[in-house]
Amino acid sequence: MEKTKKLLVLTGGGDCPGLNAVIRGIAKRARKEKNWEVYGSIEAFNGVFSEPTELIKLTRSKTAGIHVRGGTILKTTNKGNPVHFPVTQPDGTVKFIDRSEELVKRIKELGFDAVINIGGDGSQKISQALYKRGLNIIGVPKTIDNDLSATDMTFGFQTAVQIATDSFDKLVTTAESHDRVMIMEVMGRDAGWIALHTAIAGGAEICLIPEIPYDIQKIVKKIQSRYINGQGFVNIVISEGAKAKDGTIVSSQGSKGSEHVRLGGVAYQLSKQLKDAGCEAEIRETVLGHVQRGGSPTAFDRVLATLFGVKAVELLLEGNFGRMVTLKNNAISSVTLEEATERYNFVEKDGYIVKAAKGLGISFGD
């Protein structure tokens, strides 16, 4: 009889719709192989570090039907990077230490033969570091921001764009009734994909993204032209990471142990800049925030996430470790973890989508 092998699955970084669909895809495909058992680590790698460990066996009853649910049954964190692990000191400050070697040792001692790490850019950098330390690991990309260049799309992105577009549509009707300027802030830390797609899907007049710093005077002009020619109301989509040409991003301190500053509030900054620059129209701001990361994934995201899960198990069965699954040219494929993390997927300011949006009359304030 073949020896039973153990697979460990985890979700790391910010959550996004589709994580449960990947977990289910992995568990179903792996369970088909009679000699594989699948376990989940609770809250990224923290489940392995905890004493006692927090690991659950992903049996049929644990994963049945979860593909329609948002969030992750395994929970997640952005404070559990094993290479840069936050440790609170007696004086309350946080120091970061490298626990990657200890982690690899523990995973092996626990009898795991392979690991599938579902996460974004930061998580896949962790996968690469652990692979280099001798762990049999495979990455599955996720993020609503769609900012990984190795894959044409990440699951979660489409759902986020749908949520943002639904909200945008609602703001358009009230903007029209009151002849107001509506500013809707969406997520997108460094990449403006959600804003760009929402602007096209919703028919925005103005779209502001991190890749194209804006000139406030140009935006005021665009707004005024709408009022002068009798069209009136204006709908603006802005990424949380957008900034004026001579400005800075709007951030607050991240929570203790997190490596990121927290973004949010740029809609209010833009509103003030518009008023200061002489915009007379009434302005209202909406910050969508985490609703974009919640709820049930769209059918497209469920399919993509499920296919990613199945592909990750196939790579594992082939012994093809140190890779991340991708969607490239409409085919499910994979790249090395090194390739997966070497380039960020920015919106190209001279790329086709931006040009097409400009062709539709959408202003980027440049």
Catalog residues that contact ligand F6P under the rule CB under 6 A. Answer: 14, 78, 143-145, 187-189, 240, 263, 293
Q: Which of 173, 225, 223, 232 is nearest to 202 (CA)?
A: 173
DSSP-derived letter for residue 260 is S
CB of 110 to ligand F6P, least distance (A): 28
Cα distance between residue 15 and residue 1, in whole Å: 39
Q: Which is nearer to ligand F6P, 188 or 365 (CB)?
A: 188
Q: Which is nearer to ligand F6P, 20 or 123 (CB)?
A: 123
Q: Which is nearer to ligand F6P, 136 or 158 (CB)?
A: 158
Backbone φ and ψ for 104, nearest 5 degrees, come out as: -60, -45
* Joined tokens for residue 219: 């935006």
Q: Which is nearer to ligand F6P, 243 or 293 (CB)?
A: 293
CA 136 to chain centre: 24
Cβ neighbourhood burial of 62 (10 Å; 0-12, 13-18, 19+): middle
Q: Which is nearer to ligand F6P, 16 or 83 (CB)?
A: 16
Q: Does the annotation mark 166 as catalytic?
A: no
Count CB atoms within 10 A of the CB of residue 342: 12
Count CB atoms within 10 A of the CB of residue 348: 11
Cα distance between residue 143 and residue 157, in whole Å: 7
CB of 74 to ligand F6P, least distance (A): 16
* Joined tokens for residue 108: 């092996």
Cα distance between residue 219 and residue 216, in whole Å: 5
CB of 52 to ligand F6P, least distance (A): 27
| Range list of β-strands (E), the chain | 5-11, 36-41, 55-57, 85-88, 94-97, 114-119, 137-141, 181-186, 206-208, 234-239, 251-252, 262-263, 283-287, 323-328, 331-336
User: What is the Cα Rg of the chain in Å?
Assistant: 22
CA distances from 74 to 197, 275, 365 (A): 30, 46, 42
CB of 256 to ligand F6P, least distance (A): 12
Cα distance between residue 48 and residue 109, in whole Å: 11
CB of 298 to ligand F6P, least distance (A): 17
CB of 10 to ligand F6P, least distance (A): 17
Contact (Cβ atoms closer than 8 angstroms) between residue 323 and residue 336: yes
Q: Which is nearer to ligand F6P, 120 or 202 (CB)?
A: 120
Query: In the bound complex, which residue of the shown chain has the CB atom lying closest to ligand F6P?
Result: 187
CB of 73 to ligand F6P, least distance (A): 18
Q: Which is nearer to ligand F6P, 43 or 240 (CB)?
A: 240
Q: Is 235 helix (H, G, I), strand (E, B) or coil?
A: strand
Marked catalytic residue, from 145, 147, 190, 301: 145
Active site residues: 145
